[in-house]
Amino acid sequence: MTLFDSPRLLADIGGTYARFTIEGAPGAFEHTASLRCAEHADFHAAVSAYLSGLPAGLPAGLLHIEHAAIAIANPVEGDRVRMTNYHWHFSIEQMRQRLGLATLVVVNDFTALAMSLPRLSPGQRRQVGSGTARERSVVGLLGAGSGLGVSGLIPAREGWVALGTEGGHTSFSPRDEREIAILRHALTELSHVSHERLLSGPGLALIHRALRQRAGLPPEPLEAPEITRRALAPSGPNDAVCVETLEAFCAMLGTAAANLAVTLGALGGIYIGGGIVPRLGKAFDRSPFRARFEDKGRFSDYVKAIPTYVITAEHATFVGASAILAAQLRGLQGGQPDDSGSTLLGQIRRARDALSPAEKRVADHVLAHPRAALGDPIAEIARAAQVSQPTVTRFCRSLGCEGLSDFKLRLASGLSATVPLTHTQVTGEDSMVELGVKVLSNTASAILQVRDQLNRDTLSRAIDLLAAAERIEFYAVGHYGVVADDAQFKFLRFGVPSASFTDTRLQVLAANVLRPSDVVVIISSSGRLNDLLTVADLARARGAPVVAITANQSPLARKADVALIVDHVEDVATHVPMVSRILHLLVIDILAVGVAMRLGNGSPAPLPREAAARPDEARPEPQPAAAQPTGPGISAAGALARLTSHSR
C-alpha cells in the first residue's frame, strides 16, 4: 500500500464557516468549498452536504475517500470534541464510523496551521519589520478570527512537534491609558477579560464600543467587517473611531505576539494567521504592531532580532492538516518513527518476534486489519488468523491485557485516542452475558450519537413552541404509537392539555380541527409515511406549528417548522425498532423537562391511587394540600424529579 493510495478529505472548522477540500495528490487541493455552520445541524450533516455537492461525473476514485483530517477551532483531548464558539460536538470514533472512513484525525486548527509553517514558501508569507529567523528554532503562531488561536512549533529529531495551547485565554494587560479605558469598559460586560475577548472579531466590536464611550459619543452598533472596512477606507469624521479601533487592535496584537515570543523563546519567528490580519494587507504593516512588538523594555533587543510574518497562503491550514494525517498514516502503516510510541500497535510490532507461531498469526492479522479486529468477535478473529479462540486469548494476555475486551479498548485508544462505544452485531455464538453487553452498548452508542446531533437552537425553538401552546397533539403510527402515548402522559402530568393520536383515521379528523394556538408533534423514524405527511400539511393549513422528531433531510423534516433530528438505522432483519424507539422516547423526555423548566409552573397532577379501585381495602390518609401540589409553583428540579420517578 502506498502512503497516498486514495484521495483525502480535509476540513477547517471554525465558529462561522466550515471549509472542505479534497486532496487528490500531495498538496493538490480540489473542490474547495465553504459552508455556513448555522445551515447544518451538526458536523456530519455539513460533511454530507459537502460531499453531495461535489460536481457530478467525478472519477470514481475521487469519491473513494478512506482518510480524513479535521482541523477544528477547539481543544481536542481524547474522543469527545465540543466546540467552544459553536454548539457542534461529536465522538471522533463514532464520526469515523458514520462517515465510513478508515482513518479520521481531528486536531486543533492552530495546531494544524502551526504544522504548515515549515512547508510555506517565501511567497506564502510576508515579513513585517526586521529580524532574521534562526534555523531549527522554536516558532510561535497566533491569529485572530472568531477567537484568538495560539500555538507553536518545537524542532524534534527530523520533524516538528506542534503545541496545542489555549493561549488566547490568558488575561489581558493594558499598556497605556487608552487600553486601560478599553479594559474598564470590557469589565462592565465581562467577568474576565482575556486576550481573545479583544483580539478577535467580537473583540473589534468591543474595542469600538469602548472607544466611542471614551470619546463621549453615543453607541453605534457595528460588527468587525464594517469596522474594518471603514477603518481601511475612512470617508469622514464619523469613521475616526473605526480607524482608532483598528490601530488599538494592532497594537495590542503586537504586545500579545511579543509575550508569545519571550514565553516560547521563538527565535524561529512569530507568524500571524487567522481571518482578520491577512485581510488588512499593507495597512497592517503600517500599523503600530511591530513597534509594540519591539517595545519590551530590557528585552527589546531580544525581540527586535525575532522576525514577524503574516501568513498569506490560501490553504495553510489544509497543508498542516494533511501533514498531520500523513504522519498518522505512516505510524499505522508501520516502521516509521511515528510508530515507536506506546500505542498497542507499536507494542505488537515490538513483541512479535517473541510470540509463538500461532500468536504471530494473530499479531499479523491485527496489524493488517486493526479496524476489523476492533469490531470482530473472538470467533471471527480466530478464523481470520487460522488459530483457535484460546490462542487469541493467550495473545491478548501476552500483551498485558486481561482479555479480548481489554485488548480492544487499548487498541481503540491507540487508533483514535479514545475508548469508543460502537455498534457490534449480535451473533449466535454470543453467550447471554455477551448478548446483554452488546445490546446495552449498541443502545448507549446510539444515544451518544443522538446527543451529538442535538442542535441547541432548534431544541430551544421547539421548547418555546410547546411552552406557549394551549394544547399539544402527538401523532405517530405503528411501533412509535407508544412514544406518542408516553408524551401525552408526561405533558398531562405537567398540566399541559395534550392528546395522542395513533390511528390514521382519527389523525385526519383531529388535524382538521386544529387551531393556530395548538402545536403538533409528529413522531416518525423515516419521515416518509404519507399518513403523517398529510397530518403535517393539514396542521400547517390550519395555522398550527409542526414539530417533527424524525430523520435528517426527510420529507417530514422539510415540512416541519422545527425538526429534531434522530438519525438511527435499525437492523432491518429484526423488523422491530428497538433502539430508535428508545431514542424517540428520550427526545420526548428532553422536551418535557425543557417545557417544565421554561414554564416553572407545570405541576404534575397526582397519579390515581390503586386503592381507589379497591373499595374493600383501607385507603391511606389524605396528605395535606402543601404536600400534593396541583397548581402552579413546582420548581424545575421538582419537575425533573417527578418526571423521572414515574418513568416507564
138-167 pLDDT, tens digit each:
999 999 988 898 989 998 766 788 887 888
Q: 26 near 323, Cβ under 8 Å?
A: no
Indicate the average pLDDT of the chain: 82
Contacts of 467 (CB under 8 A, 6+ apart): 594, 595, 598, 599
Where would I find the H helices in 494-635?
504-511, 530-541, 555-559, 578-599
Rounded distance between C-alpha atoms, residue 323 and residue 275, angstroms? 21
List strand residue ranges (DSSP E) for 99-248, in order: 103-108, 125-128, 139-144, 148-156, 159-164
User: Residues of CATH 3.40.50.10490 domain(s) within the chain?
Assistant: 454-599
User: Residues of CATH 1.10.10.10 domain(s) within the chain?
Assistant: 341-420
pLDDT at site 100 = 86
Picking from 193-207, 245-259, 579-593, 610-624, which range would have the lowest pLDDT averaged per residue?
610-624
Name the architecture of domain 127-312: 3-Layer(aba) Sandwich (3.40)
- CATH number for domain 341-420, candidates 1.10.579.10, 3.40.50.170, 1.10.10.10, 1.10.1740.10: 1.10.10.10
Rounded distance between C-alpha atoms, residue 608 and residue 66, angstroms? 58
| Model pLDDT for residues 433-484, shown as the tens digit of each residue | 656 666 676 677 667 666 656 677 788 899 999 999 999 999 999 889 999 9
Long-range contacts of 203-209 (CB under 8 A, 24+ apart): 203/144, 203/148, 203/249, 204/228, 204/245, 204/246, 204/249, 204/276, 206/182, 207/182, 207/245, 207/248, 207/249, 208/241, 208/242, 208/245, 209/185
List strand residue ranges (DSSP E) for 437-552, in order: 471-475, 498-501, 518-523, 546-550
Rounded distance between C-alpha atoms, residue 484 and residue 584, angstroms? 9
User: Residues of CATH 3.30.420.40 domain(s) within the chain?
Assistant: 8-110
**DSSP character at residue 81:** E
pLDDT band at 630 (very low <50, low <70, confident <90, very high): very low
The residue-averaged pLDDT of 328-346 equals 55
pTM above 0.95, yes or no: no
Contacts of 327 (CB under 8 A, 6+ apart): 159, 338
Contacts of 325 (CB under 8 A, 6+ apart): 8, 10, 67, 68, 69, 103, 105
| Model pLDDT for residues 486-534, shown as the tens digit of each residue | 999 999 988 899 999 999 999 999 999 999 999 999 999 888 899 999 9
| Model pLDDT for residues 535-561, shown as the tens digit of each residue | 999 999 999 999 999 887 689 988 999
User: Residues of CATH 3.40.367.20 domain(s) within the chain?
Assistant: 127-312
Cα angle 228-207-35, degrees, rounded to a multiple of 5: 50
Picking from 69-78, 241-250, 389-398, 631-640, which range would have the lowest pLDDT averaged per residue?
631-640
The residue-averaged pLDDT of 59-82 equals 75
The helix (H) or strand (E) run that includes residue 639 is: helix 636-645
The radius of gyration of the chain from alpha carbons, rounded to an integer in Å, stands at: 30
% the chain with pLDDT above 90? 48
Hunting for cell 425533573 — which residue is that? 640
Q: 481 near 508, Cβ under 8 Å?
A: no
Q: 209 near 241, Cβ under 8 Å?
A: no
Instruction: Report domain 454-599's class.
Output: alpha beta
Edge-to-edge strand list for the sheet holding 308-311: 125-128, 308-311, 270-274, 139-144, 148-156, 159-164
Long-range contacts of 438-444 (CB under 8 A, 24+ apart): 442/579, 443/578, 443/579, 443/582
The terminus-to-terminus CA distance of the chain in angstroms comes to: 53
- CATH number for domain 8-110, candidates 3.40.1130.10, 3.30.420.40, 3.30.70.520, 3.40.50.720: 3.30.420.40
Cα dihedral value 197, 187, 238, 220, nearest 10:
90
